[in-house]
């Protein structure tokens, strides 16, 4: 277990330090006599319980069901291969520009970067030669383990954890990326607060989410209740996301990008040769002309 990585980790509930027990190959919290497994060099810092309020979204209350999100996203990672690249060239280019926008916001000075909901580990792959410490974190154990195996460089670490019980020291992370995650969580305000608490002074949180999405629903063949497509629970605009911001922010800003007209007509792919700076200008003009018909919203928070 890397000592620098270990020094950031704490008990997910009590926030007390953890020690590596070489005999058992586990992380231990002597103060509370708790132990956490390590699987394929990735710490599993999950508790078994779920706070009742976090299982009760508007959709689940209407259906009379509970959102057991820890179990749900473990099954999600078992069902969907987040490492499989899309074969649709238009969708591929849209994702490529999304990643470029995110990478352009990462501060040059950032030493520790937390990828919250790492999925296929694209961020760790993109930063493999940048001499950054990258933590690929997910609530499932499948994605962080596979991400670290696919990108086995010495400053890339995997972590299985719940953002609501984030097991890193307060004020320890330079940059946090939450790409296409906030629309899935039951409590966006608490989600952002947890990330903000982990952020160092002078650090940055980069959040992306579908912009002004019309969330479609289908009747589930298993439970006979309406279920939102892609498990999206929220839709955000520049204005609506403001009410979830943590108090005491140094600064924040929102950006709407990846214009739908450019994407659907294949023009985004035609402009793939353009450097990001020039493409941003084309994208911005397109959003103005089409009244912000765009795929993505980015929220950048600085502490």
Query: CA separation (Å) from 303 to 176, 201, 202, 204?
Result: 12, 5, 5, 7
* Residue 167 exposed, middle or buried by CB count within 10 Å (0-12, 13-18, 19+): buried
Q: Which CATH number does 52-302 carry?
A: 3.40.50.150
Tell me which residue of 116, 109, 108 sits closest to 135, measured CA to CA.
116
pLDDT of the residue at 249: 87
pLDDT of the residue at 129: 93
pLDDT of the residue at 250: 84
Helix (H) or strand (E) holding 34: strand 34-36
pLDDT of the residue at 151: 97
pTM > 0.75: yes
Average pLDDT across each block of 10 residues of the chain; the chain has 303 residues. List them in order.
Answer: 95 96 94 95 94 91 90 94 94 96 97 97 96 97 97 97 98 98 97 97 97 94 90 96 92 96 94 96 96 96 95
pLDDT of the residue at 42: 98
């Amino acid at each position: 277990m890397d000592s620098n990585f270990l020094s950031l980790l704490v008990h997910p509930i009590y926030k007390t330090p953890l020690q590596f027990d070489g005999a058992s190959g586990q992380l231990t919290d002597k103060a509370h006599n708790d132990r956490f497994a390590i699987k394929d060099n990735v710490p599993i810092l999950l508790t078994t319980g779920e706070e009742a309020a976090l299982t009760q979204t508007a959709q689940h209350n209407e259906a009379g069901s509970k959102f057991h999100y820890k179990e749900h996203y473990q099954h999600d990672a078992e069902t969907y291969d987040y490492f499989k690249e899309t074969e649709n060239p238009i969708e591929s280019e849209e994702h490529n520009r999304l990643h470029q926008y995110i990478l352009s916001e990462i501060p040059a000075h950032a030493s520790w970067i937390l990828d919250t909901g790492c999925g296929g580990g694209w961020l760790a792959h993109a930063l493999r030669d940048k001499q950054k410490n990258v933590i690929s974190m997910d609530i499932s154990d499948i994605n962080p383990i596979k991400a670290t195996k696919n990108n086995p460089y010495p400053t890339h670490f995997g972590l299985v954890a719940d953002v609501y019980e984030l097991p890193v020291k307060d004020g320890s992370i330079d940059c946090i990326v939450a790409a296409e995650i906030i629309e899935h969580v039951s409590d966006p305000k608490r989600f952002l607060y947890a990330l903000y608490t982990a952020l160092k002074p002078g650090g940055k949180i980069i959040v992306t989410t579908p912009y002004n999405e019309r969330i479609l629903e289908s009747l589930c063949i298993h439970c006979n209740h309406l279920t939102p497509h892609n498990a999206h629970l929220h839709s955000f605009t520049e204005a609506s996301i403001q009410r979830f911001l943590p108090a005491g922010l140094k600064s924040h800003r929102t950006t709407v990008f990846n214009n739908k007209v450019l994407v659907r007509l294949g023009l985004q792919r035609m402009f793939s040769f353009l450097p990001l700076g020039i493409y941003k200008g084309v994208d911005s003009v397109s959003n103005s002309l089409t009244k912000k018909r765009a795929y993505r919203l980015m929220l950048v928070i600085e502490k």
